[in-house]
Each structure stands twice: as structure tokens, then as C-alpha cells.
Amino acid sequence: MRILVTGGAGFIGSHYVRTLLAGGYPGYGHAQVTVLDKLTYAGNLANLEPVADSPQFSFVRGDICDAALLASVVPGHDVVVNLAAESHVDRSITGAASFVTTNAAGVQVLLQACLDAGIGRVVQVSTDEVYGSVASGSWAEDARLDPSSPYSAAKAGGDLIAGAYARTHGLNVSITRCCNNYGPYQFPEKVIPLFVTNLLDGLKVPLYGDGRNVRGWVHVDDHCRGIQLVLEKGQPGHVYHIGGDDELSNVDLTRALLGCCGVGWDMVAYVEDRKGHDRRYSLDDSLLRGMGYAPRIPFSDGLKATVRWYQDNRRWWEPLKHARPA
């Protein structure tokens, strides 16, 4: 079994690769894994250091938009898992072009390469943000796409292209959509590592608007187990939601992080809300749960472990945080 993981040096992709090569997915312990990653600011070879010396691992630096490169890399693999994406909403608001290029056009280039190479299985990893905001209840997989940000709009475009390749060409590609992830090795611009590293440095945390925006949360390990389940059992052209067991307002999340770090509300600075900020996301993941998925890591336990990881790994995050581009 040969598996190509695009975006495999990022937060979620590297966790998937590390788990795969550690034998965390039964039946896949002997897989040969190729990581293709452009190594933009959020792609980091340090995320793959625990498996870098494995004889089952190889790395290629490159872009999923590079058709010529893909023509040389994709053939010979049995499975492709696409985690390559520009993913930070705030960055997409100030500069959308790279998001559209990678998250939509890049998906088409990659899927065409998979089709040309006769790849037997493809998983397109996406986000709950493609649905926009939901006031009550939860989205099912057939909910209307209504993205608010350039990031989520570009991801929705990539998802639609994946569905089109399944229907038009018969490509065996499934789509996963997940709620907010957290865990170790997450780039420190995202809310949990940003807040934790700020507090470790004695800095206040910036809370958008009134802080009442609600998100679902799942540990990255549970998300990756969901991806693997879809890889093994998902149907072509189908969408699968991957959720956690907790929905929190940003106020509640902030309060939990302050508690983990042993500081009070005086370390919070309310800031102007970001443009187009969706009020609430919520996924109905009963389809995947019916296939055997369930989150294993309680949010309170996972959050405490994540805070400890950042406390113990300042050497990993400090250079990223203080050298990140504007």
C-alpha cells in the first residue's frame, strides 16, 4: 500500500502521517507514505521529525497546483489524501488569491493527476465553514453551501470539483468536513495555540466581538481517525461529517484556556470583530457515527494536554510565532 498525503507537513496532515507510520490505523501499519508539501509558513518539517527516519517515509517539496510535478509524483500510489490548503480565515480576508489558487484550482489539478494515474482511492479533506452560519440545529451532509469568507468559499469550490470528478469521471473520491481542530503542532495563529502562547509569554489574548460565536471542537487525533474511516469505508462522491462532543462559545473557550494557564479574565482584551464572522457552526455527524466513528478524547482532557504540550515545547512554537509573515 502506497499513500500520498498532500499537505502532510501541516498540523492535521502531519498528525495523520505520524499516526499512520506509528501503526495507529489497523491494516495500514506497513504502508509506504509520501508527503507532498509546499512548505508555506504553516508547513513545517519539524512536524514530521518523529517519522523522518522511517524507511516507509519519503518527502517531496512541491505544490498541488504543479501539474508537471504531480505527473511524476502521483503515479504508483494507491491512495491520495488531500490536506493541502490555505486555512486561516483572517489571512483570506486580507488576501484571497492564494486561497482560491490552492483550495479550489489546486484541487482540480490534483484530482486530474489522480484520474490520469488511475488512483484507486482519494479523500478530499474539508471544513464545516463551507455551510456558513446556522442559528439552531445542525447541518446534515446535504445542507446548502453558503460560505462567508474567501477561505470557506475556496474550500467549497474544491469540494464541488471533487464531487464533479466523482460523478463525471467515476473517480473514487470522498469528502470529509470537520469542525474546529485542536492539539499539538498547531501553528500559533489559530485561536487555541495563539491564546496559550500569548499567556505563556505574559500577553493578553484578543477576543473577537462579544465572544459569543460558537464552534464545535474535536481533537486532531479524533479527526484523523475519522479521515481514515472515510478512506476505508466512504463512498465515491459522498460527504462525511467529522464532529466532536463539544460546542463552545469563544467566551467559554477563553475561560477554559485561562483556567488551564492559571490566569484571570484581566488577561482578555476585547477586539473589533472580524468581517463576515459566522455566528455558529454545528455538524450532524450521525452518518459517520453509524459507520463506527466516535470521538475518544474528552475536550477538557485534550485541552489540558494541549496546553501542557505548548508549555513543554516552546522551542517548537517560539520561532514560528515571532517570525511569522505579516
Positive or negative: CA dihedral 164, 167, 173, 178: positive
Instruction: Please spell the DSSP secondary structure of 60-100, one letter per residue.
Output: EE--TT-HHHHHHHSTT-SEEEE------HHHHHH--HHHH
Mention every residue, 6+ apart, whose C-beta is less than 8 A from residue 312: none
DSSP assignments along 108-159, one per residue? HHHHHHHHHHT-SEEEEEEEGGGG---SSS-B-TTPPP---SHHHHHHHHHH
Pick the catalytic residue from 129, 159, 222, 246. 129
Is 49 among the residues known to form the active site?
A: no
Give the C-alpha separation, 208 to 170, whole Å.
Answer: 44
Q: How far is CA 80 from CA 4, 8, 123, 207, in A?
A: 5, 11, 6, 37
Distance CA 166, CA 124 (A): 11
| Other Cβ atoms within 10 Å of 168 Cβ, number | 9
**Active-site residue 129, yes or no?**
yes
Of 37, 63, 86, 128, the active-site residue reads 128
The catalytic position among 28, 151, 165, 281 is 151
Establish whether 272 is a catalytic residue. no
Name the 3-class secondary structure at 280. strand
Residue 23 CA to residue 179 CA, distance in Å, equals 25
Known catalytic residues?
Answer: 128-129, 151
